[in-house]
Homo-oligomer: A and B are copies of this chain.
């Protein structure tokens, strides 16, 4: 069973990496890009769990390990 987790800077938090990329794109001629935000994407491979167990396990992992709750937020999905 696979799960996907997205971890993004909170909307209220500055994203200096994203801003740097946006400026780089602008200087490379991609001026139509008005904003960039960069986050992390994780693919987890899980074995021996029911779908419901996987849901709660992935939520716990995303919340406790993959996300810094001060500056980041997450979302996730469990696939078959």
Contact = CB atoms under 8 A, between A and B. Distances in A.
Interface in A24-55: 24-25, 28, 30, 32-49
Contacts of A66: 21
B42 A21 contact: yes
Report the copy number of this chain in the oligomer.
Answer: 2
Given A41-B38, A41-B39, A41-B41, A32 B46 contact: yes
B35 A44 contact: yes
A50 to B, nearest CB: 11
A70 interface: no
Interface of A: 6, 8, 18, 21, 24-25, 28, 30, 32-49, 57, 60-61, 64-66
